[in-house]
Structure 1
Amino acid sequence: MRKLVVSDPPDQGTARKSRIPAPRRSPENTVVRRRVVRCGLSVTGFGLSALFYCLSFTPSLLPRPWFLQGVVAGLTGAIGYAAGTAVGALVRLRWWPSRRVERIAWSLLFALVPILILVCLWLGTRWQRELRLRLGMEPQQEYDALRTVGISLLTFGLLLLIARLLRLGAHGIARLLGHLVPDYAAYCAGFVVVTMLSYGAFDGLVVDNLYTTADRSAALTDSGTGHGVVRPASALRSGGPGSLVDWDSLGRQGRNFVTRAPRVAELAAFTRQAAREPIRLYAGLASAEDVSARAGLIVREMDRTGAFDRSVVAVFTPTGTGWVDNDVTSSLEFMYGGDTALVSMQYSYLPSSISFAVDRSKVTEAAAALIGAVHDRWAAMPVTGRPKLLIFGESLGTYGTEKTFGTAEKMVRGADGILLEGPTFANPIHQELTAGREAGSTVWDPRYPALPVEFASQAPELRSLTGPRPKVVYMQNSSDPVVWWSPTLLWHRPGWLRGERGPDVTPDMHWYPVVTFWQTTVDLIFANKVPVGHGHVYKSAAVDGWAALASPPGWTVDDTLRLRALLDR
C-alpha cells in the first residue's frame, strides 16, 4: 500500500515570487554602477594630481595673490588627476593590479602626500615672499597659505564633480545604445556625443556670451569720458576748434590721448627754455567709415595743424582699446620741449588680450594704414627739411607695427627710430631676430650686430650704448609674461629658462610640462600690477628708449634720470 506523503502547502508569497523571473544583472551593468555611481578616486590620478598640485606652488615670473594661487593650484591638480587617470586606464589594458597592490599604493600616498603638500606650501610661501621683495612689492601674510589651500580644494572638487557628471552622461548614453550596437561602439558613441555637447555648450553658452558681454561692456566704456577730461580749447588737438575730427567720435581713449599732454609751462620748467604747445591728433572708430578713411583724416589734420613743421612726428599704434601710455607720449614732449606732433588711431575697443585672440587683422590693417599714410607724406618732403619720424608700439601694437613693415631691414629703413615695448610671442620679426642672435647672447637680451637693432631687458642698459644710434629698440622686461608666453610652454622648455636668467627672474623658477604654461598664463592677468620695470609695466622707462633712438642735441643721462623722476611722480 502506497504511503501518501502530504507536504506543507507552499507559502503563497513564495509561490508568487517563484513565478516571477529574477532580474538579470549583467556584468556590464555592475561595472557601470561601481565605476560611475560609487567609484572612488583613481590611485594613479590621485598621485599625479598631488604632484601637479605641489608643482603649482613653484615660482613663476610674477608673484600671485593668494586667491589666484588657490585657483591655479586647484586647476593644476585637476589636470594632473585627468592625466593620471588616463595613465591608469592605459596600464590596466595590459595589467590589472591586485587589491593588495592598490592598498599598498594608497597607503604610500596617504603617508607621503600630506608631508609633500606641507613642504611645498612652506616653500611656496617663501618663494612668493622672495619674489615680491625682488620686484619691490610688499610681502603677503603667512596665513594666506591656509586660504589658498581652501580655494584650491574647492576648485579641484568643482572640476572633479563636472568631470564625473560628464562621465556619467557618457555611460548613460552607452547603456542606451548597448541594446543596438556592440559595447565598444556604444561607449565610443557616448564619449563622442558628450564631448560634442560639452564643447557646444562651452563655446555657445560660455565663450560667445563672454565675448558678447565684453564687447558690450567695452562699447559702453568707449563711449564714456574719463574723469577731468574736457574738450580741448586748442586748435592743435583733434576735437578742438577747427578740428576735422568730431570730439564725440574720438572714443574714451582718444579723448584721453588728446587732452593729457603736458602744459607749456611744465615743458618750459623742465627744459629751462622756451617751449611750444604739443600737437596731438587722434581718430576714433566713429571718426570715419574705415581704416583708410581714418588714416587720411589724420594726415589732413596734420596738414591743418602744421605737424610736419615740428622737429618730431611720432606715430603710435595703440593697444586693443585704443589706449596709449601717457608716460610714453609725455616723455617725448618733455624731451623736445613740445616741438612734437603725436598721432594715433583706434582700431578696436576690446582689450588687447581679446583682440589678440579673436582678430589680429584689425591692428595690422590700422597700423599699415596710419603708418603708411604718414610715411608717404613724410617721404615726399625734402630730406633736409623734414622732421624726425618716430614710431611706437606696445603689446599688440608691436605686432601691428612689425606686420606693417614685414622685415627687420624695412623697419630700419622705414623711420628715424622705432620703439617697441613688450612684443608678443607672435611677432614675426622679433622671433626672427631672436633666433638669429649673436652666439653667446641670451634670449631675453639678444645681440644682433647685423642691423642697428637693440634689445633691452632693463631700461638702464640703453644709457651705456656706444657707436652709432640704433634705429629699432625692443624693450622687453625679463619678467614680462606678454613677451615670454607661448603655447609651446605646454611641452617645451623655453630658452629664457635655460642657463643664465633675466635680471628679475628668480633662479628658483623651473620649467614643468603643462604647469609652467598655466603659471605663465595666469601671470598675464597681473602683468600690469607690478612696479615699473617689471612685468608688462614700462611707463617712464620709455625715456631711455627715446633717448637711445632720437634724443635732442645736448641730452645727457642726467636729463634722462631727471625726466624719469618727474614722470614717476
Structure 2
Amino acid sequence: MPSVRSAATRVQQSYLVGVFSTVARTFHPVGLAFAVLFFAWSMSPSLLPRPWFLQALATGISMAIGYGVGRLLAWLTLHLGFAPRWSAHARIAGWTILSLTAAVTIPTFTILGARWQDIVRDIVGTQRDGGHFYLLVVFLAFTVAITLVFSGRALRWLSNRITHLGTRFVPTHTARLASIALLFTFVVFVVDGAAQRVIVNVAERSAAAVDVDTAPGVTAPIYPERSGSRHSAQAWNTLGNQGRSFVAGGPTWRNIEIATGQPAMTPIRVYAGRDSGPTFDDVAALVVDELERTGAFDRSVLAVATATGSGWVNPNVAAALEFVTGGDSAIASMQYSYLPSPVSFIADRETPQQAGRALFDAVYERWSSKPIDSRPALVVFGESLGSYGGQAAFSGGYEMLAKVDGALWSGTPNFTEQWQLITASRDANSRQARPIIASGDHIRFAAQPADVRGAGLAAEWRSPRIVYWQHSSDPIVWWNSELIHTRPEWLNKPLAPGIDPNLQWVPFVTFWQITADMVFSIDVPSGHGHSYGPEAAYLWADILDGITDKKLSPEQLDRVHAAIGRR
C-alpha cells in the first residue's frame, strides 16, 4: 500500500509539474523580464507605510503592467522586422539567466522593501512591523499578477473571436478595429457604468443604515446654541450620525477658560441633515434659520464648514477655531450624502460641489444683509472632500479674497479646480510642494504651522488670509491619473521634509503606490498623511490675527494644542 500511495503521489507531482511547465511556457520571456523589473520598482518607498496586503496588491498590478509593457515591446520589435532565430541552446541560456535573475531579484527586493517600509514608518512615527508578512506579499502579488494577465488573455481571445466573426462581413483590419472598440466600450460600461452604480448603491444603502445610529457616548446637547437641542427646530434624530457627533462635540465654555485662562462663551454649532429638505438649497436655508435662532450673526466669527461625504467635520479644526476665539464663534455645516468619502471621491464629485455652493451662498446672502459694522468675520474651512466642495463656492482665489475674511483648507484633493489654479499661479522661484502666491500677500501654503511665516514670504501677511494646509506626505493632495505617465513637480529634488528621500517616480508603478497610500492615509500620527490635528489652533490664530480682538500668547496656544489633543 505505501508503494502504491508513493507512486500515486509521484504521478500527481509529475502532473502538476507538467501543468506548471506548460503554463510557464505560455509567458513571453521579455514580458517576464519586465515583470521582474516592475516587481523590484514596486517595492520602493512612497509617501506612507503600506500594510503588506496593499503592498502585494500594488506589486501584483505593477507586475502585470510590466509584463504587458514587455510583451508590447516584443510585439513592436517583431513587427518592425527584427525577428532573430534563436538556437535551442540560446533559448535555454536566456531562460536560465532570466530564472537566476528572478531568483536573486525577488527575495532581495522583498527584504529591501520591508526595510524601506520601516524607514517610512520611522519618518511618520508609527511602529515597525519587522517585515514578517513580506513572504505573503510575494505569494499574493504573483496571484494578482497572474490573474490580471489571464484576464487580459481572455479579452484578447474574445477580441479574436469577434474579429473572426466580423471578417465574414468586412475586411480583417476593419473587423479588428471594431472588435477592439466594442470590447473597450463594454469594459468602460462595466467598470465606469454598471459596476460603479452597483458599488455606489450598495455603499449608500449600507451608509444610510449606519447613519441612523449614534456614536457611543454621544448624547443630545442641552445648550440652546446647538442644533439638535430641545430649543432647535432641527430634531436630534434628523441630523445623521456625523451631524449628531458634531453638534454634541467640541469644547464647552469651561474647557476654553481652563485652556486659555480667559473668559469664554459657549460656541455655536448649527447643522441640518440630508433629509431635512428636498434640495440642497432647502437644507441650507434651514441652517441659516438655525444661525438666526442661535444669535450666530452677533458672534465675532462665523464659519461655514463644508463636510465630507457622510457629513463629517474635522473635530480638531472646529475645536481649534472655538478655542482661539474664546467660544465667540459659530460654525454652520450640513450633510449632503450618506456615502463615505472614499466612495464619493471615486464616484460622486458633483454632490460635494453643489452642497458647498448652496451652503455658502445661503449663509453669505444672510450675512451680507447685516450691517457692515456689526456683522461677524466670515471664514470658511473644510477638509478633503469638504475642501473640494467648499471651494466650489468660489471661482478662484480672487473671489475667495473678496467674499471671506479667512479660510483654512486642509488636505485638498488634487482634482480641486481652485487649488489647481492657485498652485499654477505660484511665483517662479517657488516649488509645487510649497508654492508661494504673490509673495504670500494673502494666500499661503503650509505643511506645518511654522510654514506660514517661512522663508520667501512677505513680511506683512495682509488680510484676508487664506491657508492651504497640506502635508508633504498626504497622498490625497498628490494623487492624480497623470502619475501614470508623467513625473510630478512635487517630486523634484530636494524632496519636501517628511518624505523619504529615496522616493523615486516610476511610470505606472508610482501611480499604484500612491493609490495604495490613500487607503490608510488617516491612520498615521497628526502631521503626516491625511491626518490633520490640533496644530490647526496655530493656523487659526494666524488667520484671525487682526480680524478679532482675541489674542492668545504662544503659551496659551500650546495649552490649547494640548487640550485639543486630549479630546
Q: Structure 1-normalised TM-score?
A: 0.88
Task: Kindly indicate whether the alpha-carbon contact (under 8 Å) linking 1:463 and 1:544 is maintained by their aligned counterparts in 2.
Answer: no
* Greater shift in the superposed pair: 337-346 or 465-474: 465-474
Task: Kindly indicate whether the alpha-carbon contact (under 8 Å) linking 2:413 and 2:477 is maintained by their aligned counterparts in 1.
Answer: yes
- Counterpart pick for 2:66 among 80, 86, 91: 80
Distance in 2 (CA, whole Å) between partners of 1:388 and 1:190 is 61
Distance in 2 (CA, whole Å) between partners of 1:445 and 1:475 is 10
Task: Kindly indicate whether the alpha-carbon contact (under 8 Å) linking 1:459 and 1:533 is maintained by their aligned counterparts in 2.
Answer: no
* Greater shift in the superposed pair: 351-360 or 148-157: 351-360
Question: What does residue 461 of structure 2 align with?
Answer: 468
Look up the SS of the partner of 2:269 in the other structure.
strand
Task: Classify 1:379/1:160 alpha carbon distance in 2 versus 1 (closer, same or farther; 3 Å).
Answer: same
Question: What does residue 481 of structure 1 align with?
Answer: 475
Look up the SS of the partner of 2:373 in the other structure.
helix
Larger Rg: 1
Q: CA deviation at 1:116?
A: 2.2
How many residues align? The count is 534
Task: Kindly indicate whether the alpha-carbon contact (under 8 Å) linking 2:56 and 2:140 is maintained by their aligned counterparts in 1.
Answer: yes
Distance in 2 (CA, whole Å) between partners of 1:336 and 1:152 is 52
Distance in 2 (CA, whole Å) between partners of 1:338 and 1:437 is 35
The answer to whether structure 1 residue 455 and structure 2 residue 445 are counterparts is yes
- Counterpart pick for 1:347 among 336, 348, 367: 336
Question: What does residue 371 of structure 2 align with?
Answer: 382
The answer to whether structure 1 residue 333 and structure 2 residue 327 are counterparts is no
Distance in 1 (CA, whole Å) between partners of 2:252 and 2:216 is 18
Per-residue CA distance 1:312-332 (angstroms, 9 max, x = gap): 111101111110011111111
Q: CA deviation at 1:68?
A: 1.1
* Greater shift in the superposed pair: 342-351 or 546-555: 546-555
Q: CA deviation at 1:474?
A: 0.7
Q: CA deviation at 1:74?
A: 0.9
Per-residue CA distance 1:39-63 (angstroms, 9 max, x = gap): 5111121111111111000111111
Per-residue CA distance 1:436-470 (angstroms, 9 max, x = gap): 22232221111113641111122233467852355
Look up the SS of the partner of 2:444 in the other structure.
strand
Task: Kindly indicate whether the alpha-carbon contact (under 8 Å) linking 1:218 and 1:350 is maintained by their aligned counterparts in 2.
Answer: yes
Per-residue CA distance 1:530-552 (angstroms, 9 max, x = gap): 11000011121211220110155
* Greater shift in the superposed pair: 142-151 or 277-286: 142-151
Question: What does residue 565 of structure 2 align with?
Answer: 568
Distance in 2 (CA, whole Å) between partners of 1:193 and 1:468 is 57
Question: What does residue 148 of structure 1 align with?
Answer: 137
% same residue: 38
Look up the SS of the partner of 1:446 in the other structure.
coil
* Greater shift in the superposed pair: 392-401 or 114-123: 114-123
Distance in 1 (CA, whole Å) between partners of 2:23 and 2:499 is 47
Look up the SS of the partner of 2:275 in the other structure.
coil
Task: Classify 1:116/1:368 alpha carbon distance in 2 versus 1 (closer, same or farther; 3 Å).
Answer: same
Task: Kindly indicate whether the alpha-carbon contact (under 8 Å) linking 2:30 and 2:70 is maintained by their aligned counterparts in 1.
Answer: yes
The answer to whether structure 1 residue 526 and structure 2 residue 516 are counterparts is no
Q: CA deviation at 1:497?
A: 0.6
Question: What does residue 559 of structure 1 align with?
Answer: 556
The answer to whether structure 1 residue 60 and structure 2 residue 46 are counterparts is yes
Task: Classify 1:559/1:190 alpha carbon distance in 2 versus 1 (closer, same or farther; 3 Å).
Answer: same
Question: What does residue 19 of structure 2 align with?
Answer: none
Per-residue CA distance 1:499-520 (angstroms, 9 max, x = gap): 2211111110011111111111
- Counterpart pick for 1:436 among 416, 422, 425: 425
1:224-243 to structure 2, matched below 5 A, reads 224-243=213-232
Look up the SS of the partner of 1:420 in the other structure.
strand
Task: Classify 1:421/1:91 alpha carbon distance in 2 versus 1 (closer, same or farther; 3 Å).
Answer: same
C-alpha RMSD of the superposition: 2.4
* Greater shift in the superposed pair: 486-495 or 205-214: 205-214
Look up the SS of the partner of 1:438 in the other structure.
coil
- Counterpart pick for 2:31 among 35, 45, 52: 45
- Counterpart pick for 2:97 among 100, 105, 108: 108
Task: Kindly indicate whether the alpha-carbon contact (under 8 Å) linking 1:292 and 1:369 is maintained by their aligned counterparts in 2.
Answer: yes
Question: What does residue 491 of structure 1 align with?
Answer: 485
Gaps of 5+ in 2: 1-21
- Counterpart pick for 2:83 among 96, 117, 126: 96
- Counterpart pick for 1:545 among 536, 539, 549: 539
Distance in 1 (CA, whole Å) between partners of 2:188 and 2:398 is 44
Task: Kindly indicate whether the alpha-carbon contact (under 8 Å) linking 1:69 and 1:148 is maintained by their aligned counterparts in 2.
Answer: yes
Q: Which amino acid aligns with 2:59?
A: A
Distance in 2 (CA, whole Å) between partners of 1:307 and 1:96 is 78
Per-residue CA distance 1:340-395 (angstroms, 9 max, x = gap): 11110112121233323333232222222221222222223233322221111111
Q: CA deviation at 1:197?
A: 4.8
Q: Which amino acid aligns with 1:96?
A: A
Question: What does residue 161 of structure 1 align with?
Answer: 150
Q: Which structure ranks higher in relative contact order (CA pairs < 8 Å, sequence separation ≥ 6)?
A: 2
Task: Kindly indicate whether the alpha-carbon contact (under 8 Å) linking 1:463 and 1:557 is maintained by their aligned counterparts in 2.
Answer: no
Distance in 2 (CA, whole Å) between partners of 1:183 and 1:102 is 33
Q: CA deviation at 1:429?
A: 2.6
The answer to whether structure 1 residue 514 and structure 2 residue 486 are counterparts is no
Task: Kindly indicate whether the alpha-carbon contact (under 8 Å) linking 1:540 and 1:568 is maintained by their aligned counterparts in 2.
Answer: yes
* Greater shift in the superposed pair: 384-393 or 62-71: 384-393
Q: Which amino acid aligns with 1:363?
A: P
Task: Kindly indicate whether the alpha-carbon contact (under 8 Å) linking 2:114 and 2:130 is maintained by their aligned counterparts in 1.
Answer: no
- Counterpart pick for 1:504 among 493, 498, 504: 498
Task: Classify 1:49/1:176 alpha carbon distance in 2 versus 1 (closer, same or farther; 3 Å).
Answer: same
Task: Classify 1:174/1:387 alpha carbon distance in 2 versus 1 (closer, same or farther; 3 Å).
Answer: closer
